[in-house]
């Protein structure tokens, strides 16, 4: 069960990080001069999304 | 010519990064010493990411570490982990099981130094909440009898096998020894950098100073100044820098597969717990009036929303450091698990040394993927140190900020 949960969490996080990446690319294309700010915020948001997935992985480890 | 150089570089990287294969192999065989049937991938991986009471260097070469053990009703036992003779000797009912100190639960077992015939693992049925479950338990063999072992003592609540058990382990373990090594490295590097600033005052940086200065500038310009604000950032610069470099050095040391490295320091929940606790304390000690007002009675919103928001905000105070703790732990542990699993392919395909062709296939696939994963882990090592410090900085920034409503939105 833990492995299935971790897989679903990875799926959700993958969609989330993908959306962040695509919007960041659009933003950079629109405003290339703001690339530094956009990159920092992108990494920060991606880390937050990934954190949610990793919570699920830890729960998966616990329910092993 | 460039193409040729590229091939050389690639082979060097693959060989270099596939090194954990050897480290893993020894343990694979050592682990299956008592149960030669099959390669148990899960327990081998768990053994490698867990802490240990001795430092494994090479096949059969271990550096013993000091053990400080306390059991209620018995008192302190202080010894070197070499005395356990890798699970062949019990001292005061303590034994070494897969590198970790376990304790024999039974009162019948004699105290003092006792030779035991080994440690075996068995599946036993345990009644838990009315349901029968199969659990793996370890037993010490002594004079033809089996004595059950208590799990190692850890603070992490038993996520990676352990928990609060019948004794307390205050030993200098592999992780603690590695943290000391990291501290020593940090002291050496940063005293050299500080000396550099004294000697080259007003001149261009030299040596290791030029390596550290861009990182220092990066932390100041991208992390502390924008997150904490112009007025306060200098006060927190040392703390954020310490967090960043400590986590970075721990992560990088954990990626080195051979002796001085190899300890899963930041992938240990107890370590990240302490780091997150420091962030929590620093944030809340420095919280000003506005910070506490925003938590307990957020201004500028209807009263009924405040009733909902206040418990959420109070929970948020604890969830923020908690997520810092879990994020670092899970990222580093997940990376180690992936690398060890890929190396484990060699033993899985090779049927633990009986099928050479399968092992070779596993080595090619596992080695290539390990090289790739190691490069990603290198990125993750930097990224997680950066994330931990930037999030801590943003929490501190929210705590010391003086009343700009729109800026508060970001930090939450």
pLDDT tens-digit map of B163-208? 777 788 888 888 999 999 999 999 999 999 988 888 887 788 888 8
Task: Look up the ipTM and state it.
Answer: 0.76
Assess whether B370 and B273 both reside in one domain: yes
Quote the pLDDT of residue B32. Answer: 42
Cβ atoms < 10 Å from Cβ of B233? 20
Shared domain for B199 and B112, answered yes or no, is no
Q: Of B117, B138, B171, which residue sits at a domain end?
A: B171
* Distance (Å, whole) CA B232 – CA B179: 30
Which of B22, B92, B18 shows the shortest CA–CA distance to B58? Answer: B22
Q: pTM for the whole thing?
A: 0.82
Distance from CA of B133 to the nearest CA of A (A): 12
Dihedral angle over CA of B8, B13, B16, B19, nearest 10:
-120
What b/e readout covers B379-405, taking b as 16+ CB neighbours within 10 angstroms?
ebbebbbbbbbbbbbbbbbbbbbeeee
Q: Are residues B138 and B75 in the same domain?
A: yes
Residues in chain A closer than 8 A to B387 (CB atoms): 43-44, 47
Chain B residue nearest residue A45, CA to CA: B387
Q: Which residues of B touch A58 (CB under 8 A)?
A: 159, 326, 329-330
pLDDT, position B20: 46
Same domain, yes or no: B263 and B164 = no
Give the residue from A13, A37, A53, A54 with the most B CB atoms within 10 Å of its CB, the best one to mutate: A54
Tell me, yes or no, whether B137 and B273 share the same domain: no
Cα B263 to Cα B285: distance, rounded to the nearest angstrom: 33
Among B326, B390, B391, beta carbon nearest to A55 = B326
Domain extent at residue B102: 52-171
Phi then psi for B166, rounded to 5 degrees? -75, 0
pLDDT value at residue A53: 82
Nearest to B346 by CA among B131, B67, B24, B87: B24
Residue B292 forms part of a structural domain: yes
Tell me, yes or no, whether B4 lies in a domain.
no
d(CA B291, CA B294): 5
CB atoms within 10 A of CB B301: 11
Backbone angles phi, psi at B163, to 5 degrees: 130, -175
Tokens of B206: 């030299």
> Do B132 and B265 have their domain in common?
no
* Residues of chain A predicted below pLDDT 50: none
Residue recorded with tokens 């065989």: B29
Chain A residues touching chain B at CB-CB below 8 Å: 36, 40, 43-44, 47, 50-51, 54-55, 57-58, 61-62
Structure tokens at A29: 């294309």
Q: What is the pLDDT of residue B403?
A: 65
**Structural domain for A23, as ranges:** 2-62
Query: Domain total for chain A?
Result: 1
* Shortest alpha-carbon distance between residue B159 and chain A (Å): 6
Q: Are residues B103 and B144 in the same domain?
A: yes
How high is the pLDDT of residue B128? Answer: 64
Is residue B352 domain-resident? Answer: yes
Which residues of chain B have a pLDDT value below 70? 1-37, 127-131, 156-162, 403-412
Q: Quick check: is B37 in a domain?
A: no
Under DSSP, the state recorded for A34 is G
Residue at token pair 């603070």: B155
Q: Domain containing A17 — which CATH number?
A: 1.20.20.10
**Are residues B266 and B382 both part of a single domain?**
yes
Q: Given this model, what pLDDT does residue B6 score?
A: 55
Task: Say yes or no: B190 and B138 in one domain.
Answer: no
Number of structural domains (chain B) is 2
Same domain, B78 and B184: no
Select from A36, A47, A61 the Cβ nearest to the Cβ of B159. Answer: A61
Rg (CA), chain B: 25
A19-34 confidence digits (pLDDT tens): 999 999 999 999 999 8
B123 and B267 housed in the same domain? no
Label each residue of chain B as H, E or C: CHHHHHHHHHHHHHHHHCCHHHHHHHHHHHHCCCCCCCCCHHHHHHHHHCCCCEEEEECCEEEECEEEEEECCCEEEEEEHHHHHHHCEEECCEEEECCEEEEECCCCCCCCEEECCEEEEEEEEEEECCEEEEEEEEEEEECCEEEEEECCCCCCCCCCCCCCCCCEECCCCHHHHHHHHHHHHHHHHHHHHHHHHHHCCCCCCCCHHHHHHHHHHHHHHHHHHHHHCCCCHHHHHHHHHHHHHHHHHHHHHHHCCCCCCCCCCCCCHHHHHHHHHHHHHHHHHCCCHHHHHHHHCCCCCCHHHHHHHHHHHHHHHHHHHHHHHHHHHHHHHHHHHHHHHHHHHHHHHCCCCCCHHHHHHHHHHHHHHHHHHHHHHHHHHHHHHHHHHHHHHHHHHHHHCCCCHHHHHHHC
Q: Do B77 and B144 sit in the same domain of this protein?
A: yes
Using DSSP, state whether A61 is helix, strand or coil.
Answer: helix
At A43, list the tokens.
Answer: 């990494």
Closest-CA distance, A34 to chain B, in angstroms, reads 13
């Amino acid at each position: 069960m833990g492995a299935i949960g971790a897989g679903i969490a990875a799926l959700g996080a993958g969609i989330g990080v993908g959306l962040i990446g695509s919007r960041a690319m659009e933003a950079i294309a629109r405003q290339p001069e703001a690339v530094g700010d956009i990159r920092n915020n992108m990494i920060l948001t991606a880390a937050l999304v990934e954190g949610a997935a990793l919570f699920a992985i830890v729960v998966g480890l616990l329910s092993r | 010519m460039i193409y040729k150089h590229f091939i050389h570089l690639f082979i060097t990287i693959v060989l270099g990064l596939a090194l954990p294969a050897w480290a893993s192999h020894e343990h694979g065989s050592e682990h299956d010493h008592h149960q030669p049937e099959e390669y148990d991938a899960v327990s081998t991986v768990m053994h490698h990411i867990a802490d240990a009471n001795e430092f494994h260097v090479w096949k059969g070469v271990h550096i013993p570490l000091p053990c400080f053990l306390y059991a209620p009703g018995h008192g302190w036992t202080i010894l070197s982990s070499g005395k356990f003779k890798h699970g062949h000797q019990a001292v005061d009912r303590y034994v070494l099981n897969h590198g970790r100190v376990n304790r024999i639960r039974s009162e019948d077992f004699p105290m003092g130094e006792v030779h035991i015939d080994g440690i075996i693992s068995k599946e036993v049925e345990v009644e838990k909440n009315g349901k029968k479950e199969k659990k793996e338990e370890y037993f010490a063999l002594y004079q033809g009898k089996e004595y059950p072992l208590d799990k190692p003592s850890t603070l992490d609540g038993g996520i990676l096998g352990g928990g609060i058990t019948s004794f307390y382990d205050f030993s200098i373990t592999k992780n603690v020894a590695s943290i000391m090594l990291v501290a020593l490295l940090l002291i050496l590097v940063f005293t050299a950098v500080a000396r550099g600033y004294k000697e080259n005052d007003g001149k261009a940086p030299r040596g290791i100073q030029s390596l550290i200065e861009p990182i220092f500038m990066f932390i100041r310009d991208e992390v502390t100044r924008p997150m904490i604000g112009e007025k306060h950032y200098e006060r927190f610069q040392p703390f954020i820098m310490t967090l960043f470099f400590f986590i970075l050095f721990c992560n990088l040391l954990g990626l080195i597969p051979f002796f001085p490295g190899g300890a899963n320091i930041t992938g240990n929940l107890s370590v990240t717990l302490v780091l997150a606790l420091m962030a929590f304390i620093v944030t809340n000690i420095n919280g000003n009036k506005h910070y506490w007002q925003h938590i307990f009675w957020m201004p500028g919103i209807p009263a009924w929303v405040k009733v909902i928001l206040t418990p959420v905000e109070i929970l948020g105070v604890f969830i923020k450091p908690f997520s810092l703790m879990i994020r670092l732990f899970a990222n580093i542990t997940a990376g180690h698990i992936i690398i060890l699993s890929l190396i484990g392919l060699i033993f899985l395909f090779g049927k633990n040394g009986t099928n050479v062709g399968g092992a070779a296939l596993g080595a090619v696939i596992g080695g290539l993927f390990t090289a790739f994963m190691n490069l990603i882990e290198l990125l993750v090592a930097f990224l997680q140190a950066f994330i931990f410090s930037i999030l801590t900085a943003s929490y501190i920034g929210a705590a010391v900020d003086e009343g700009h409503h729109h800026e508060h939105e970001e930090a939450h």
